[in-house]
Amino acid sequence: MIDIWPITIPELTGEEERKVYVYVPNSFKKNPQERYPVLYMFDGHNLFFDSEASYGKSWGLKEYLERSHRPLIVVGVECNHHGEQEECGGRLSEYTPFDFADPYWGSIKARGRITMNWFVKTLKPIIDENYPTKPERKYTFISGSSMGGLMTVYAICKYNRYFSRGAALSPSLAFCPGQMEELIQNSYIRRDTVLYMDYGQKELRYDHLKAVFGRACSLLIKRGVMLESRIVPNGVHSEASWEKQVPFFMDVLFYDL
């Protein structure tokens, strides 16, 4: 079952509505007393339906979850579709914890902290009140790809009191490598924290990205994070490629629970 409902994030885009997608396992109908871990995800419009995905291809999460019978609630929030230079800013602005400048995108002002504060202070209480969740940190996960992957690493570090496990697919670490490395080094990260992080083989044709990935992995391990890192054979920066990684990161999120 997938519920879709409108929500506003006043701190970011005022009264403009965006969609929230909530997948609840079909087993809940048979056992209404059952409670489930929750996976919060960025770019919710790309998760379930090809017809709503930005590039016409979703992650196919509904089919995977129904096929695998994973006991999991997934909450996906639609991203901001405005242009980056519009007054309210766009997706990159909402999905970065640090200001950065890029030759193509220009200067991007960080609003990732506002986004994550809304996730944990507004969205999570709504989900826990209205759905059959296990609200404890142990059963609260976060995941995303690209800029959503960057936000996942940020959340695992800065919002570790809320999220015990995460999956960062093709995270855009290269936009702000120094700041992210400093964040990893200086954040309070509990020793039970689990993170899956990957890049596609074809993404890593750039040496500087290999170096950024390697340094981030090393720092996370030094901080005690139980890290599962992969280079995906022939993997690329796309929903079609990330869909193939779903079984891998789901195994990590659920390992030893």
- Residue 21's H or E segment, with its range, is strand 17-23
Q: What angle do CA 25, 117, 223 make, to 5 degrees?
A: 85
Q: What are 25-47's pLDDT values in tens digits? A: 998 888 889 999 999 999 999 99
CA dist 239 and 45 (Å) reads 11
Residue 16 is encoded by which pair of tokens? 């403009």
CA dist 189 and 137 (Å) reads 13
Q: What are 173-192's pLDDT values in tens digits? A: 999 999 999 999 999 999 99
- The model's pTM is 0.96
Q: Which residue ranges form the domains of the chain, and what is each CATH number?
A: 2-254 (3.40.50.1820)
Q: What are 118-176's pLDDT values in tens digits? A: 999 999 999 999 999 999 999 999 999 999 999 999 999 999 999 999 999 999 999 99
The pLDDT of residue 3 is above 80:
yes
Res 36: pLDDT: 98
Average pLDDT over the chain reads 94
- Residue 22's H or E segment, with its range, is strand 17-23
Res 88: pLDDT: 65
Q: What are 49-99's pLDDT values in tens digits? A: 999 988 899 999 999 999 999 999 999 999 988 766 666 668 999 999 999
CA dist 109 and 232 (Å) reads 31
In Å, what is the CA distance from 27 to each residue of 6, 13, 34, 65, 77? 25, 36, 8, 11, 23
